[in-house]
Structure 1
Amino acid sequence: MKKVSIKEKKIKWLAVLTAIFFILLSLAIIIILFQNVFYKDKIYPGIKIGGLELGGKTKKQVFVLLEQYTQKFSQEGIVFSAENNSGKIKRVRISPVIISPQDPDLSREILNFNAKETLEKLYSAGRQGNFYERLGEILNNLIFNKKEQIIYHLDKNELDKILKDNFKNFESPAINAALEIKNQIFEISLEKEGIAFDYKKGLADLENNINNLIYQPVELKTIIEAPKITKIEGEKYLEQAYQMTGLDPFKLTYKENWWLLRNPKEFLNLKLSKEGKIYLGLDQDKFSAFLQNIAKDLDLEPKDAEFEMKDGKVISFKPSKTGVKLNIEKSIDKIEEDLIKLKKEESEMIIEEKEPKISIAEINNLGIQGLIGAGMSNFSGSPQNRRHNIKTGAEKLNGVLIKPGEEFSLNGALGKIGPDEGFLPELVIKGNRTVPEYGGGLCQIGTTAFRVALNTGLPITERRPHSYRVSYYEPAGMDATIYNPHPDLRFINDTPAHILFLTRIEGDELTFEFWGTNDERKIEVTKPIISNIKKPGPARYLESETLKPGEIKMIERAHDGADAEFTRTVIYSAPEKEKLEETWTSRYKPWQAVYLIPKTSTTSEKIIKE
């Protein structure tokens, strides 16, 4: 018998392995070719969203499925239900869009889906990368299945606020033990356990439903809310409270001015520190209200210098004036320390100086030589509160100085938006409730600021268009929506000097001007091109408890959807700086009309469990 040498064995095994390799390679090529031919314009097998198998379906079929799912939210809303401790069930149907009948600036989406991007993600699975990467992904999906999710954005913070506002009267919040005084005698009231709803879990359940393409009401679970201060703990502070009876009256001071606090014991209560420790202090709400009355006499707004510029110099002006403001929160902390802990007879309140934005001394030393850009918008037809807010917002920006190299934030410059800052509310519809909200008119500010930054040739680092076309911001495509903290409008001062932000209103025209140093850059902004116009879907009807039978009220007009596009070119005088060419695109969704109709017993959102 002929012996087979080791070398011959190696050659034989090499041939076998080579044959296996080519067989496997051939199989792989066959699989890829089969997939490319049979699944042309189809999703590869093994791709799922939730329990829905999408493999083998055409792009059009999958898009229809995704659209059918997302339309449920548009038509039926986001539905939450909860049961209180009396056995009553309340159901709230929340529109995925916050609607403001008076001001489109406050209308915004809290839930939106991107079916097109989802479809592209599903279709690209197994079609990207080199041959081996594609083969590996196809085999992996076939064997293990690939679970994808629909692409969407949910404003959880806003939805959390809406839920709490709609269900707060259905909860029984925990009540802390409190210090009370009756006929000059201190008592500690009894604490009470509460029942609240687990909003965090409710939001997580909603997201889980969306990720699995499930549309169904989300049930809010109840949680026991324990009081943080008990009567037993509170009684330890009765003796300390009685020690305060000799400190009457107590004097509050600021420079040569003073105010008497009569009966300071009336303001005493049990409080919790940031660390959760109980202490005897001044009731935050009652004492804040007391200090608010002092602030009315004390607070002074700063006054900016008024001036005119000619040839880069100030030619006439009124001098600036520093303002003062009572810091109520810090003052309460200090008064508590002086009155309760140190047993003093008086306490100096915390008063903060507010410097004006513009002082004449600064202007002529900052290289501000002339006008370098302007932007305008028209707000004709705006209701009274919207006009007021536009004026208030413009005044807050007038005189702001932007340093060279600084990234300017419009939300940051506007600061807090509320009644204390002079803004007026507008009514918005959130769930089953119509509630006042601040911020109306500020997108007029955002749009005008976007336009002045465009026309000045500044790099814009953050901007978001509105969800739908608004008449105040025509031409479409050159608008910017803002809402603190985001979306924001941000841009960089890349000029060699400070920029002075000046604002003015003439009739229905809002104008923003940037004054600074002209570095000879050339800016060209084209007119927007409007395309892809889409008609809105059928009108949506919301139930209202304020309308009589047979009444119907339009609160939101229908808007066509469209795409808008324009270009901006910036040519810099500095040879080392490359020309900037950019295209700005905006996609406006078709926006259905919304009507209020009377709520009937058959459509009631409140259900009594039998």
Structure 2
Amino acid sequence: PGEGVFSHLWLLLRGRNLSPILSFDEAAARLYLETLAEGIDQPPVDAALTLEGTTPTTSPARPGRALDVEATLAAVREALPELGREGVDLVVREVPPQVADAEPARTWVESLLAEELKLVLPNPQEGDPGPWSIAPEELAGMLATFVNEGRLHATLDAERLRAYLQGRVAPEVVVEPVDARFHFDEETGELVVVAPSAEGRALDVEASVQSVLAAVGAGHHVAPLVLRSVPPRYPEPITAEELGIRELVAEGDSYFIGSPSGRDHNIRLAASKFDGLIVGPGETFSFNQYLGEVSAEAGYDESYITAGEQLAIEVGGGICQVSTTAFRAALWGGYPIVERWFHHHRVGYYELRGYGPGFDATVYSPLVDFKFVNDREAALLIETEIEEAAHRLIFRFYSTDDGRRVEVEGPVITDETEPGPPIYQLDESLAPGTVIEWQTAQNGLTATVERWVYDAAGNLLYHDTFVSQYAPRRAAYHYGPGYQPPEP
């Protein structure tokens, strides 16, 4: 016990030299270094391309730096025994940029934007559209860049180029294919070609994108487009058996005797547009679609049309004779009528030879159309014919008879109204005192026609009610100078 007391007293008075015991908290050191790195690290700067209008410029690359935390921790661990006498250097590494050089992109863009880019058709023919020129300013908006082996390159963006081709070029390039036109030989049951088919064409957008990219990539300022052919749906080799055309299934007619020469001409021209055409199963027939443009340039003459209270003269007058005849064929054929409009006034031509009011169909492209659906499983072949002696227009429908039966009743006439007093209009071109009747008076009325269509088993397929409300039409006279019209 005594020795212990003396030992403690000795330690208190003189002390003793002991070796230090050191402890290294690596987690705390890592956290410290990561915090320190926030003030040391600098990201690298890639070489870049910028445009000022259509002038490309570049900015140089600059390397960055980053504190290597793991390497610094290893250095600290190694220096622990000497830590009291010497410090430890931080390990900072250089971070290279991903894009070291933008000069390839600048050079290519400068060359591309030096002049316009022309897109041309392969082997263009007279009358073909093009070339299409893309100005440097527009090309600048289509640029895209990519990195290859640390160098920046440029090209045209495929999506933007595709949008340009689809919006600007494709609509001008397209040529619709032309189906062959046929007549049906009832004796042989075969189709007879009356007009040949023709292939159409369209822009192959995807192939054209690749063609343009390849051309500009090679430094060219003229790039060829790529076209693809579009075959007709009904070429000459097709047969009646393939289409299911076996017999006459419907017929409609109308008479236009007494028509002025312009109206007569227009009826014949418009009727020819429908002769020999095929309407596929399930397709909707649009009169205006097949009629096409109605203009003097398309060959039509001026003639009378119904317009408000008085007849008017317009290019294409008389075409409604053709749409009326097509309506009658579809009506008697039991086809679903999708769109049909009646005339503002009754038209005498459409009430000849047993037809009453309510069996007409007016058209006025593109606003007013006549449409029906070919709801049979077989195709429908339309033939038109004019019997010259009677001035009779006929629409014949050939298909497969599916046994449907059609019943039509009417017209039932209601709400008949008389016209007002005659209209007199001065015409300075007439001889003094001359009076001519411009249009005859006609009662207004409502005509109702009903149709029932039954299938082969007698089940009702369709029931239609066609209501036509015709306005009364006053008589109209044109008179020359000096004539005094009667008081109304």
Cα drift, residue 414 of structure 1: 0.9
**Which of 435, 439, 464 is equivalent to 1:582?**
464
Q: How does 1:119-138 map to 2 (within 5 A)?
A: none
**CA displacement at 1:591 relative to structure 2:** 0.3
Q: What SS does the aligned partner of 1:447 have? A: helix
Which residues in structure 2 correspond to 1:82-121 (within 5 Å)?
A: none
User: Distance between the aligned counterparts of 1:354 and 1:379, measured in 2?
Assistant: 38
Cα pair distance change 1:407/1:355, threshold 3 Å: closer
After TM superposition, give the deviation of residue 532 of structure 1 in Å. 4.1
CA contact (8 A) 2:194 2:276 kept: no
Q: 1:462 to 1:450 in 2, by over 3 A?
A: same
Cα gap change, 1:318 to 1:581, in 2 (>3 Å): closer
Determine which of 276, 280, 293 is the counterpart of 1:416: 293
Whether contact under 8 Å (2:251, 2:395) holds in the other structure is yes
Q: How does 1:336-485 map to 2 (within 5 A)?
A: 359-361=236-238, 363-426=240-303, 437-474=314-351, 475=355, 476-485=357-366
* Residue in 2 that maps onto 1:487: 368
Aligned equivalents of 2:180, 2:221: Cα separation in 1: 42
Whole-Å separation in 2 of the counterparts to 1:569 and 1:584 = 12
Paired amino acid for 2:471? K
Aligned residue identity for 1:551: T
TM-score by length of 2: 0.51
Distance in 1 between residues matched to 2:384 and 2:400, nearest whole Å: 18
Q: Identify the structure with the greater helix proportion.
A: 1
Q: Deviations over 1:210-259 (max 9, x none)?
A: xxxxxxxxxxxxxxxxxxxxxxxxxxxxxxxxxxxxxxxxxx99969879
Q: Please give the secondary structure, in 2, of the residue aligned with 1:466.
A: coil
Assess if the C-alpha contact under 8 Å between 2:306 and 2:345 holds in 1: no
Task: Give the distance between the partners of 1:552 and 1:382, measured in 2 at CA.
Answer: 22
* Shift, 1:570, TM fit: 0.9
Kindly tell me: are residues 549 and 445 of structure 1, through their superposed partners in 2, closer, same or farther at Cα, counting changes over 3 Å?
Answer: same
- Give the C-alpha shift of residue 358 in structure 1: 6.5
- Superposition RMSD on alpha carbons, in Å? 4.6
1:511 corresponds to: 394
The code of the aligned residue for 2:470 comes to Y
Give the whole-Å Cα distance in 2 for the aligned partners of 1:423 and 1:491. 25
For 1:322 and 1:392, the matched residues in 2 are separated by 21
Give the deviation of 1:534 after TM superposition. Answer: 2.7
Q: Which residue of 2 aligns with 1:76?
A: none
Cα displacement string for residues 466-494 of structure 1 (whole angstroms, at most 9, x for unaligned residues): 12221110121111111112321111111
Residue of 307, 314, 333 corresponding to 2:190: 314
Following TM superposition, by how much is the alpha carbon of 1:302 offset from its aligned partner in structure 2, in angstroms? 7.1
In the alignment, what sits opposite 2:427?
Answer: 544
Alignment map for 1:287-302 (pairs within 5 Å): none
Q: Is the 8 A contact 1:466 1:481 kept in 2?
A: yes
Give the conservation status (yes or no) of the 8 Å contact 1:357–1:400: no
Asked if structure 1 preserves the Cα contact closer than 8 Å seen for 2:263 and 2:304, the reply is no
Distance 1:318 1:428 in 2: 32
Q: What is the CA–CA distance in structure 2 between the aligned matches of 1:468 and 1:422, rounded to whole Å?
A: 27
Q: Does 1:592 align with 2:474?
A: yes
Residues 387 and 565 (structure 1), Cα distance of their counterparts in 2 relative to 1, 3 Å cut = same
| Distance in structure 1 (CA, Å) of the matches to 2:235 and 2:392 | 24
Unmatched 5+ stretches in structure 2: 1-119, 128-137, 139-174, 202-219, 483-488
- Percent identity of equivalent pairs: 34
Alignment of 1:173-252 (within 5 A): none
Residue of 406, 416, 424 corresponding to 1:533? 416
* Stretch of structure 1 that moved more, 354-363 or 385-394: 354-363
Aligned residue in 1 for 2:381: 500
Offset at 1:598? Answer: 4.6
Rounded Cα–Cα distance in structure 2 between residues aligned with 1:461 and 1:258: 41
Alpha-carbon distance, 1:304 to partner: 4.4
What is the alpha-carbon distance in structure 2 between the residues aligned to residue 254 and residue 509 of structure 1?
A: 49
Distance 1:421 1:529 in 2: 39
Deviation at 1:317, TM superposition (A): 5.0
Q: Which runs of 5+ in 1 are unaligned?
A: 1-251, 260-272, 274-298, 326-341, 601-610
CA shift digits 1:164-209 (9 cap, x unpaired): xxxxxxxxxxxxxxxxxxxxxxxxxxxxxxxxxxxxxxxxxxxxxx
CA distance in 1, matches of 2:384, 2:409: 24
The verdict on how the C-alpha distance between 1:490 and 1:317 changes in structure 2, with shifts beyond 3 A counting, is closer
How far 1:435 sits from its partner (Å)?
8.7
**CA drift at 1:416:** 1.4
Q: What secondary structure, in the 3-state scheme, does the structure 1 residue paired with 2:244 have?
A: coil
Distance of aligned partners of 1:312 and 1:258 in 2 relative to their CA distance in 1, 3 Å threshold? closer
In 2, are the aligned partners of 1:563 and 1:588 still within 8 Å (CA)? yes
Which has the higher Rg, Structure 1 or Structure 2? 2
Q: 1:307 & 1:430 partners in 2: Cα distance?
A: 37
Aligned partner letter, 2:338: T
Structure 1 stretch displaced more, 419-428 or 486-495: 419-428
Alignment deviations for residues 443-473 of structure 1 (CA, whole Å, 9 cap, x no partner):
1011101100110001112111112221110
Amino acid at match of 1:314: E
Which of the numbers 531, 554, 560 marks the counterpart of 2:443? 560
Q: 1:564 to 1:570 in 2, by over 3 A?
A: same
| 3-state DSSP of counterpart to 1:448 | helix
Distance 1:492 1:303, change over 3 A: closer
Contact 2:240-2:246 at 8 Å conserved across structures: no
Mapped to 2, the partners of 1:531 and 1:429 lie a distance apart of: 22
Which amino acid is 1:481 matched to?
T
> Normalising to structure 1: TM-score of the pair?
0.42
Q: 1:536–1:560: 8 Å Cα contact kept in structure 2? A: yes
Q: Is the 8 A contact 1:389 1:440 kept in 2?
A: yes
Conserved? CA contact 1:358–1:400, under 8 Å: no
Tell me how far apart the structure 1 counterparts of residues 194 and 395 of structure 2 sit (CA, whole Å).
21
Residue type at the aligned position of 1:413: Y
